[in-house]
Structure 1
């Protein structure tokens, strides 16, 4: 009777060790899954931050055009502004109006709103999206002719480089500026309608 109790006791000890090993393997897979999930959450957080910044910059330029309605057509840009453009760092020398608004918007797209100062180094812009660019196009020219009275329609778009592959956007702002694969390019846009006061 004593021997059978020892056998049962020995069998239980071996079974407990096997359970611990299985638990460690399951825990390892769980931790690996958690690490992969955290990496995806981090990328989603970066994408969300960039989209929020782009939305603020988009609203900024749309409001500038609306505030300067009589000269809305002077805001139209031939190419993307922001990263890689030739706008000056300081816009103070420019007269108030579309040229100054575009210069300030360009600097904001480049991250001039926030700067990170490192010891013994020049300030580095960190406040905008990765490779931020903006485009302003005229979708419809205004026509104040009596009986026609069509408003001017302008599209303001903000483009930046995303951190993961997705579908390429239909809007052409900054197309081809983020490598050969356009699926990393992100774009948001808004339309600004400039009505004809003489028609009302």
Structure 2
């Protein structure tokens, strides 16, 4: 009788340990997703501040930085060639950075130094106000960005039936750049 009770105690202990290990594995997987989301947000903030600084530095030509919402810079496009003017050069460099040119794998053709699906827009709001936006592909669905943020809208939806529908996986950061006429 004693031997049977000991065996049941061992089995119960084993079930408890396995359940705990399974829970720890799920927490670890969730932490890795959170870390990736955090990394992408940090990259987006760097690129957002980069363009805002470039525009503030070149105030006289701030209007030349405007990028149409339907053709944002970044993923799925050929970046413009660096032209003779500072805005042309800045937009070309920003586009390359959005595509991950800062870090490459192998022979340099695989760019991995930016967010997944990074896109950038600069909207001229008038009156010397510009809205700089970075959009990218999130790892899991959350709340969609506000309707007023049009950069990358409807470009991050997954296949029908997947959780990434209705812009729920689109992440976006914006900042306003004010350029006073001096």
User: Normalising by structure 1, what TM-score?
Assistant: 0.81
Alpha-carbon offset, residue 122 of structure 1: 5.4
Structure 2 equivalent of residue 167 of structure 1: 143
* Maintained 8 Å contact 2:157/2:168: no
Structure 2 equivalent of residue 82 of structure 1: 74
Note the 1:1-12 alignment, pairs <5 A: 11-12=1-2
In 2: Cα distance, 1:85 partner to 1:98 partner: 18
Structure 1 equivalent of residue 179 of structure 2: 194
In the alignment, structure 2 segments of 5+ residues that lack a partner are: 159-164
In 1: Cα distance, 2:25 partner to 2:85 partner: 51
SS at match of 1:189: strand
Note the 1:3-42 alignment, pairs <5 A: 11-42=1-32
- Aligned residue-pair number: 171
In 2: Cα distance, 1:140 partner to 1:14 partner: 81
SS at match of 1:178: coil
CA RMSD of aligned residues (A): 1.4
In 2: Cα distance, 1:73 partner to 1:102 partner: 12
Structure 2 equivalent of residue 178 of structure 1: 156
CA shift digits 1:144-195 (9 cap, x unpaired): xxxxxxxx11110000000001111011111011126210000000011111
**Stretch of structure 1 that moved more, 70-79 or 176-185:** 176-185
Alpha-carbon offset, residue 140 of structure 1: 2.4
Residue in structure 2 matching 1:61, options 31, 51, 56: 51
2:117 is aligned with 1:131: yes
Over alpha carbons, which structure has the higher Rg?
1
Structure 2 equivalent of residue 148 of structure 1: none
CA shift digits 1:84-105 (9 cap, x unpaired): 12324x63xx214111100110
User: Normalising by structure 2, what TM-score?
Assistant: 0.89
